[in-house]
Amino acid sequence: MLDEAQIQRYARQLLLPEVGGAGQERLLAARVALGAHGEAAETCGRYLEAAGVGLGASGLAVGGIENPERWTLGEVGAAWAPPAGPCPACLAAALHALPAPPPWARSAVAQAAGALAASQLLLQILGRGTATPALWFFWPEPGRTVPRRRKACACG
Record the pTM: 0.79
pLDDT tens for 40-49 read 888 988 999 9
Model pLDDT, residue 137 = 61
Q: What angle do CA 7, 54, 113 make, to 5 degrees?
A: 105
Mean pLDDT over residues 45-73, rounded?
70
Instruction: Return the higher-pLDDT residue of 132 and 40.
Output: 40
**Alpha-carbon dihedral sign for residues 142, 148, 152, 156:** positive
Residue 144 region, left (φ>0) first, then alpha (ψ -120 to 50), else beta? beta
Residue type, 10: Y
**Rounded to an integer, what distance in angstroms lies between the CA atom of residue 148 and that of residue 89?**
11
Quote the pLDDT of residue 98. 78
Instruction: Tell me the three state secondary structure of residue 63.
Output: strand
- Mean pLDDT along residues 44-56: 89
Give me the pLDDT at residue 60, please.
41
Q: Please give the pLDDT value at position 141.
A: 61
- pLDDT, position 59: 39
Give me the torsion for CA of 146, 149, 151, 154, rounded to 10°. -170
Delimit the domains of the chain by residue range: 4-136
**Residue 80 contacts residue 120 (beta carbons within 8 Å):** yes
21 has pLDDT over 80: yes
